[in-house]
Amino acid sequence: MEQPNQLWQMDFKGHFEMANGSLCHPLTVLDDHSRFLVGLKACHAERSKVVRFRLQSIFEEYGLPERMLMDNGSVWQGYHTGLTFWLVRLGIQVVHGRPYHPQTQGKDERLHRTLQEELLSDQQFFDLKECQEKFETWRAMYNYQRPHQALAMQPPATHYQPSLRLFTGQFPFIAYEPGDILRQTDIHGRIQFHAQRFHVGKAFRKSQVALRPTDLDGLFNVFFCKQRIAQIDLRTDNP
């Protein structure tokens, strides 16, 4: 990426056991351009609601990115989660890497190795509170002091600035394109089109979506805000 905040990579690093017997699941959020670590959060579980809570604090501090890249793990589950709905509704495009291709998130994977080598492998953590305290100390060092080879041996902070897209907690107005075919999803995330019923995603239930024809006759892309969430084919029976 050519500028900060054009793309953030997000992933969970493998969990580890703390001294109190419970597990810590480190969540990492990395700016693709600068390698600036906008978030390193100690989480008690790998769940969408946990991620959303942690992301909110990151957005409040650094603003909103244009896009976010994540893998196809169970936490994200493609485009059909409440987390995806929330991100897209905030105006963030959600991108998923190819299945079984961790190199798509190579910068985040490299960060995980560095985190393991420099902090996790030789530290003892009692609970999540202590994890977060040590995570923040290490994150500050990583961002502001540690030289990065890909940045001409400069720390990530020299290449990063917060986003101008501030997080207000409010959803922006949805403006679809002229000529879009608008439909309202039902409680199950389905729409009616040409006397047929199509499922576009339960996460988008009771929402307005837009259909746009493709170059193939009878094939339509379905958009929620600016995110393509489904494709429907009128040439295929869809009872």
Rounded-to-integer distance, Cα 113 and Cα 133, Å? 20
In a domain, 238, yes or no: no
Does the pTM exceed 0.75? yes
186 with 136, same domain: the answer is: no
Residue 109: what pLDDT?
Answer: 87
Say how many domains are in the chain: 2
- Residue burial 130-161, b: 16+ Cβ < 10 Å; e: rest: bbbebbeebbeebbeebebeebeeebbbebbe
Rounded-to-integer distance, Cα 189 and Cα 41, Å? 32
123 with 89, same domain: the answer is: yes
In a domain, 174, yes or no: no
**And the tokens for 63?**
């603003």
30 with 129, same domain: the answer is: yes
Residue 148: what pLDDT?
Answer: 82
30 with 64, same domain: the answer is: yes
- With CA atoms as reference, report the closest residue to 102 among 94, 110, 90, 93: 110
Strands, sheet with 227-233, edge to edge from the N-terminal-most edge strand:
181-184, 208-213, 219-224, 227-233
Q: What is the pLDDT of residues 192-236, one digit of tens each?
A: 999 999 999 889 999 999 999 999 999 999 999 999 999 999 987
In a domain, 50, yes or no: yes
In a domain, 167, yes or no: no
139 with 228, same domain: the answer is: no
Q: What is the pLDDT of residues 126-174, one digit of tens each?
A: 999 999 999 999 999 999 998 888 778 899 999 999 999 999 989 999 9
Which residues form the domain of 76?
A: 7-159
